[in-house]
Copies of this chain bind each other. A is one copy, B any other.
Amino acid sequence: MKIGELSRVTGTNIETIRYYERIGLLPAPDRTAANYRSYGDAHRSRLSFVRHSRELGFTIEEIRSLLDLSDDPARDCGEADRIATAHLEQVEAKIAQLGLLRDELTRIVGRCRGGVAADCRVIEALGDHSRCGSQH
């Protein structure tokens, strides 16, 4: 299949597919006589792997490591688990951090009583960290 179809079946921007090839995440496919990229099923499933991992928030470098692992079926699987576990911990940390942020934003918004900016509690609160309940 050509790049447009691969783009449609994987829900990936065409430019992004070429970008992944450029950075070596996807192997360069064969070309047609007209120099068009020609993809097979292996490309499709590799790209799906990449997209799914990206949606889960893995970085390109993490995905590279995971792909290296899956390219070498004899290697130890524990590494994949370590990468995923570390990533899960990061996600949990991010959730906790955003929770604090939400609390503070909640404290800040809704204080507006329709006055002018000079009396604005929102602007005041943004300028003054000292009243924050938490460190961020």
Contacts and interface: CB of A to CB of B under 8 A. Distances in A.
B108 A84 contact: yes
A77 B87 CA distance: 41
Given A77-B116, A117-B77, A122-B81, A127 B88 contact: no
Which of under 10, 10 to 19, 20 to 34, or 35 or more describes the interface residues of A? Answer: 35 or more
Copies of this protein in the assembly total 2
A99 interface: yes
Contacts of A118: 73-74
Interface of A: 45, 48-49, 52-53, 55-57, 66, 69-70, 72-78, 80-81, 84-85, 87-88, 91-92, 94-95, 98-99, 101-102, 104-106, 108-112, 114-120, 122-123, 126-129, 136
